[in-house]
Structure 1
Amino acid sequence: MLDKKEKVVFEISITSVLKVILLLLSVWVLYQVRSILVVLLVAMVITIALEPFVEKLEKDRIPRSLSVIVLYIAFLAVLGAFVYFVIPPVALQIKELTLDLPYYTSRLSGFNFGDTSPITKILNNLSSNLTDSAGSILAGLISVFGGVVHAITVFALTFYALVDKEGLRKTLVALIPIDQKERLLATINKVSLKLGDWLRGQLLLMLIIGVVDGSILAVLGIQYALVLGLLAGLLEVIPIIGPTISALTAVFVAFVSGAALWKILVVLVAYIVVQQIENQILVPKIMQKATGLSPIIVIIALLVGDKLLGLGGAVLAIPVAAGIQVFTNEYMPLIKKR
């Protein structure tokens, strides 16, 4: 009996081809204007974070435009105080740490790691890499705003977005198809609320952890306490891995700087206790209304954001991922029903 070969024919319509081309072209255009997208995303994130405070002032019968101005003055005052009081000593400690690294490396060479040990190689390269890393971090931070001009643009966009909220809403309504208008607006509002809760909660956690860890190190007399506290706060955004890295870094610095053994043990225990208090008390209390992102999703988002846009992309990756999650949760059931 002869096997019959069936001919399989795939038909691709011109419309499908055009859609694929249009999609690829859109991706290419977005990639070309990625620096502008970063500015817009930063403005959007700041707007979402500040919106509840503006609404609170409005409820106190303060005009919206005046509320935004008051909030901006307060924000700039806090930012100015941070730059004036925190940045100089942090920069000084980073400079001292860079200069002291060769000495710490030579101290550790007394321990028999072996010439081919990965630890030895890491320590030998640490001094030269730190300066480059600091430069990369600075360049990444600058890339978030794109320099002074982009920083001014971000603040201007945020200001007008906060003042003219209804105008933006009317424009958005005009662009949405009538049959999807109500659901999409409700979803956007939900994204804004959840993202705002997450952002404010995360910033508060970063501040608390940074201040507490830095204060503990300062009381113990550990060198570079301010830098280590700032590092602990910044790494707080990365679940599990971030706090672990900050704890190991603090213990390492305490060890190589010649701190007493009991101080090193206290540093380790203190970081563990602070982390447990955060997980059991602070996070459930502060983040109870926020969008819950899986730690794996957070880490993947950070890696993708860093790969696409550097540190600026990593900073914006988590809020974007949180927004995508809300949209997915809202529309995935509808897609499955079709």
Structure 2
Amino acid sequence: MPRALAQVVVAAIVGVIAYGILGSLKGIISTVLIAFVLALAMEPAVNALVRHRWRRAVATATVMVGGLVAVVALVTVFGNLFVTQLLQLVAALDDALVAVRAGLDPALADQIPDRQALVTEALERYGADLASGILGIGGVLASGFITATGVLLIAFYMLAAGPQLRIAICRPLEPVRQARVLAMWGIAQEKLSGFIASRVVLALVSAVCTTLFLAVIGIGYAVPLGLFVGVVSQFVPTVGTYIAGALPIAVAGVQSIGLGLVVLAWIIAYQQFENLILSPRVSSKALEINPAVSFVAVIAFGAVLGPMGAFIGLPLAATAQAVISTYLRRHELIDSALLRDEPVARGPGPT
């Protein structure tokens, strides 16, 4: 008994120390995990270039630089459009305020401050909070840049190593365990490819539906706005839906406040349709996981790893499910009414 109690105490102390270490390394673990998923996503393109006699390091750099250029180009094009439309919206609101003041009785019009007075009052009341908020946003952007740089560097080294990384992992293992590790690696890559395919399908459907809707109600720039909504809402985790919806709402609001409200209602309605009907079906078919499991996986990984965790939660859950289903031992089921749907007994028909 004393020996067992001592072992329990030692195990508890080791567990507490390990928990503290893992808590301190949470950021590093999440960075490595995200880099690993990113490397798996880009590896098929790198392998295609390697088969055409490209050096692996050059192929990896080409694929990563191409992806970064595409992202920067997308942000630049639609960022300029967003800023332009937002400035036009502010000008339109200013004109609307002037029109309202002109249509009112002079006594009532004097009670409504003009734009300059509103701006001055807002700066006096919220200027300090606005300045601290800007500094906070700057800190978040700097931290995000450092994290993104670390993710890209780790993903580059993983991709550039390629088979050498898998050799280093498998070298200490027995042949049976090597086969299992490589099988799980292949499953992870297959599920990630399915996840990317599901995101592309959802982005395409969202872009087409949004483009048609904007064209029907007479909003300019319908095609680029539809593409922006489709791409950003599917490939920017957590806040992508809000960023994607803000641009078409601003563009419509420049034309009229009513159109802006109509577009807002469309964005909300389509997101409900996508979240409740379309996305669970597409994700479950592409990743072969239950819609409830996919929903819980997004919430759980988002809580643990943040926004990027919500993005990679589906492929990680699908990989875990595939690995478990591959190596889990199955048994013959017993006969029970709880394992099947019983048909409803029908009464005798009319005579």
Query: Common fold, TM-score beyond 0.5?
Result: yes
Cα offset, 1:162, TM superposition:
1.2
Specify the alignment match of 1:315 in structure 2.
Answer: 311
Specify the alignment match of 1:258 in structure 2.
Answer: 258
**Residue correspondence of structure 1 range 155-234 to structure 2 within 5 A:** 155-176=152-173, 179-198=176-195, 200-219=196-215, 220-222=217-219, 230=228, 233=231
Specify the alignment match of 1:57 in structure 2.
Answer: 49
Distance 1:37 1:150 in 2: 12
Distance 1:323 1:95 in 2: 46
2:150 matched to 1:153? yes
**Do the aligned partners of 1:210 and 1:231 also contact (CA within 8 Å) in 2?**
yes
Cα offset, 1:300, TM superposition:
1.3
Cα offset, 1:327, TM superposition:
2.4
Specify the alignment match of 1:87 in structure 2.
Answer: 79
2:35 matched to 1:43? yes
Distance 1:94 1:315 in 2: 28
Name the CA shift for 1:224/1:194 in 2 (closer, same or farther; >3 Å): same
The count of corresponding residues between Structure 1 and Structure 2 is: 288
How many percent of aligned residue pairs carry the same amino acid? 22
Cα offset, 1:40, TM superposition:
1.2
Name the CA shift for 1:89/1:69 in 2 (closer, same or farther; >3 Å): same
Q: What are the Cα deviations for residues 233-289 of structure 1, in whole angstroms up to 9, with x where unaligned?
A: 555589xxx99xx99xx99x989932499x88x969x959x96xx959xx77xx798
Distance 1:20 1:189 in 2: 37
Distance 2:187 2:28 in 1: 25
Q: RMSD of aligned C-alpha atoms? A: 5.3
Cα offset, 1:47, TM superposition:
0.8
Name the CA shift for 1:330/1:76 in 2 (closer, same or farther; >3 Å): same
Of residues 4, 13, 25, the one that matches 1:33 is 25
Instruction: State the secondary structure of the residue aligned to 2:300.
Output: helix
**Do the aligned partners of 1:141 and 1:311 also contact (CA within 8 Å) in 2?**
no
Of residues 298, 304, 324, the one that matches 2:300 is 304
Instruction: State the secondary structure of the residue aligned to 1:333.
Output: coil
Q: What are the Cα deviations for residues 199-254 of structure 1, in whole angstroms up to 9, with x where unaligned?
A: x213312431343244224323359977786556555589xxx99xx99xx99x98
Specify the alignment match of 2:120 in structure 1.
Answer: none
Name the CA shift for 1:289/1:295 in 2 (closer, same or farther; >3 Å): closer
Q: What are the Cα deviations for residues 148-178 of structure 1, in whole angstroms up to 9, with x where unaligned?
A: 2322222222122112112211221135455
Deviates more, 1:324-333 or 1:42-51: 324-333
Distance 1:75 1:63 in 2: 18
Instruction: State the secondary structure of the residue aligned to 2:53.
Output: coil
Output the amino acid matched with 2:28. I
Distance 1:24 1:334 in 2: 36
Instruction: State the secondary structure of the residue aligned to 2:27.
Output: helix
User: Computing the radius of gyration over CA atoms, which structure comes out larger, 1 or 2?
Assistant: 2
**Do the aligned partners of 1:207 and 1:233 also contact (CA within 8 Å) in 2?**
yes
Name the CA shift for 1:312/1:59 in 2 (closer, same or farther; >3 Å): closer
Distance 2:258 2:79 in 1: 26
TM-score by length of 1: 0.62
Distance 1:95 1:221 in 2: 20
Of residues 63, 74, 81, the one that matches 2:66 is 74
Gaps of 5+ in 2: 97-125, 333-351
Name the CA shift for 1:79/1:233 in 2 (closer, same or farther; >3 Å): closer
Name the CA shift for 1:292/1:235 in 2 (closer, same or farther; >3 Å): farther
**Do the aligned partners of 2:207 and 2:229 also contact (CA within 8 Å) in 1?**
no
Name the CA shift for 1:68/1:223 in 2 (closer, same or farther; >3 Å): same
Q: Following superposition, which runs of at least 4 residues in structure 1 exceed 6 angstroms of deviation?
A: 94-101, 138-141, 223-229, 253-256
